[in-house]
Amino acid sequence: MTVLALLDGTIVDHTAPLLRADDLGPLRGDGVFETILVVDGRPRELGPHLERLARSAALLDLSPPPRADWERGVEAVLGAWREPGEMALRLVCTRGVEGGDGTPTAWAMGTAVSPEVLRRREQGVSVITLDRGYAPDLVERAPWLLLGAKTLSYAVNMAALREAARRDADEVVFVATDGSVLEGPTSTVVLAEGRHLRTPPPDSGILVGTTQLALFRAAERAGFTTSVEPVGVDELVGADGLWLVSSVRQLTQVRTLDGRELPDTGTRAALHSELTDLLASEYRV
């Protein structure tokens, strides 16, 4: 099922054309987006997602619609959704039409979470590391590269996933030129060393993950310690737990890295189920 809404709350046919051919979204990938998990009709971390959308837009000098408009679009999608199960809710905002007055084009669209995503949540993933080709300090030296903004230009991220598939892997961890871990093409990397969780810092040019923030919040309440600090690629194999986390995939365990089975230190499965429960407990009513 797919439900598409405009930000005035109108539901429109998602199979009918929506965009002008001269919209800068498809022409240039010039815009921003968010993907939000909806469970039992409730969007998770909607506030942080809307705040990140606004931050991404600011990095692109783009004026997105006001928050109330997004909330109206979200409500329209939620109201028209008729299926059990989880929804991936996308909020998309482009720079509008080429040569236009700068009015952005925006919409909200819900689709069912794919069975493959659910399977990977249960069974974990095989991951390869891929060179992202930049040093972690590039974000400061070259802000025009928009590192850390969630832009519509995801062609490189998708190409990395196809490269993983060519190498018989499911997923990717991007690595900087100095050997530090960045992020996945659509996920944040989190590792555990005992009851300490680590994730790489956003100032290395990666996205601030709403799921990682929620996970660390929940884990800290349960007595875990956390840190946001550089992680060397060599540290991944020895960790007690390694995950790709994001809104729709939630916590997905990394099972193999560059073809090597991650050694089970005896705590991997227990940590995974504890952290999965802790994250879910953030949303229990």
Which residues in this chain contact ligand PLP in the complex, by CB under 6 A?
Answer: 35, 183, 186-188, 207, 209-212, 246-247
Q: Please count the other Cβ atoms lying within 10 Å of the Cβ belonging to residue 221.
A: 11
- Nearest distance from C-beta of residue 208 to ligand PLP, angstroms: 8
- Nearest distance from C-beta of residue 157 to ligand PLP, angstroms: 6
In terms of DSSP H, where are the helices of the chain?
24-28, 46-59, 67-80, 115-123, 138-141, 155-166, 210-221, 268-281
In 3-state terms, what secondary structure has residue 261?
strand
Identity of the residue, 6 or 54, whose beta carbon is nearer to ligand PLP in the bound complex: 54
Tokens for 3, please give them.
């439900």
Identity of the residue, 104 or 209, whose beta carbon is nearer to ligand PLP in the bound complex: 209
- Closest CA relative to residue 81, chosen from 40, 35, 34: 40
Identity of the residue, 180 or 187, whose beta carbon is nearer to ligand PLP in the bound complex: 187
- Nearest distance from C-beta of residue 69 to ligand PLP, angstroms: 21
Helix (H) or strand (E) holding 254: strand 250-257
∠ Cα 217 38 103 (to 5°): 100
- Closest CA relative to residue 23, chosen from 106, 147, 146: 106
- Nearest distance from C-beta of residue 98 to ligand PLP, angstroms: 26
Identity of the residue, 169 or 248, whose beta carbon is nearer to ligand PLP in the bound complex: 248
CB 189 within 8 A of CB 230: no
- Nearest distance from C-beta of residue 185 to ligand PLP, angstroms: 6
In 76-209, DSSP assigns E strands to 87-94, 105-112, 125-131, 171-175, 188-193, 196-199
Identity of the residue, 97 or 212, whose beta carbon is nearer to ligand PLP in the bound complex: 212
CB 249 within 8 A of CB 121: yes
- Nearest distance from C-beta of residue 77 to ligand PLP, angstroms: 18
Strand 125-131 and strand 171-175: pairing?
A: parallel
Identity of the residue, 176 or 207, whose beta carbon is nearer to ligand PLP in the bound complex: 207
- Nearest distance from C-beta of residue 275 to ligand PLP, angstroms: 14
Task: Give every CB contact of residue 180 below 8 A, 6+ residues apart in sequence.
Answer: 136, 200, 204, 230, 231, 232, 233
- Nearest distance from C-beta of residue 50 to ligand PLP, angstroms: 12
Identity of the residue, 187 or 252, whose beta carbon is nearer to ligand PLP in the bound complex: 187
Identity of the residue, 78 or 215, whose beta carbon is nearer to ligand PLP in the bound complex: 215
